[in-house]
Structure 1
Amino acid sequence: MAAKAGSGDTPRRWSQQVTEISHALDLEPGVFSLSDPREIARSLQRSAEHSRQRKAGAFQSAMSMLNFYVNRAGRKLPAERRRCLEAAKDELRAIYGRPRHQQG
């Protein structure tokens, strides 16, 4: 059952709750507001590698959380912020030795 807006202590948006208190990863506060894509990737790496609740590998868990945040922000995400987060995906790939996304 979905929480109603203004219903006390339950969050208004389930996506906000997932980002803040995910059972998949314990994210460092403010990770998605960092300005350096490498720092975002390193923070997600630390969270994924220290998590005991994740169901997939560290890389997949970190990338999934980053994709979740970008997808939930949707059109409201400013272009500059989106570029930073997309660059963080490439940094995350580099950290885990995965091929970087090719611009095309």
Structure 2
Amino acid sequence: MRSATRMAMPETKKRWVASVKTDSTHPEAGLFKKDAATIARRLASREVSPKGPASGMRMLTYFINRAGRGLPRSRRTELERAKRLLSDRVRRARERRQRAAKRR
């Protein structure tokens, strides 16, 4: 049985985000259609993610969430692989910063 709240809500196909407007990130068109290594490398770059690789990780997660169920399984698998590669880059960058801070 459906709840009263659920029954009162109209069934719509409205997407929760129709467009993305940001000044902080600049991915090129078609980036998320490429292979995992390329996606991770580009999202870690300063020209795409000026705030660092962690910003690229958030962008990739946002893209996957935004695509939702419409994202084919093969594409999701490749994007999840890119997340793992990018996560490794984020971890290495964090470790480098920590080592540099200890030297000071």
> What is the TM-score of this pair, normalised by structure 1?
0.64
Instruction: Output aligned runs, 1:21-100, within 5 Å.
Output: 21-34=21-34, 36-46=35-45, 47-48=48-49, 51=50, 57-96=51-90, 97=92
Q: For this pair of structures, how many residues does the alignment match?
A: 77
Report % sequence identity.
Answer: 38
Mapped to 2, the partners of 1:43 and 1:26 lie a distance apart of: 10
Residues 16-58 of structure 1, C-alpha deviations (whole Å, 9 max, x = no match): 531xx52220112211111x1010011111211xx2xxxxx41
| Structure with the greater alpha carbon radius of gyration | 2
Residues 60-88 of structure 1, C-alpha deviations (whole Å, 9 max, x = no match): 21111000000010111011000000000
CA shift in 2, pair 1:16/1:30, >3 Å: farther
Structure 2: 5+ residue runs without aligned partners?
1-14, 94-104
> What is the TM-score of this pair, normalised by structure 2?
0.64
SS at the partner of 1:17? coil
SS at the partner of 1:70? helix
**1:40, 1:88 within 8 Å by CA — same for their partners in 2?**
yes
Structure 1: 5+ residue runs without aligned partners?
1-12, 52-56, 99-104
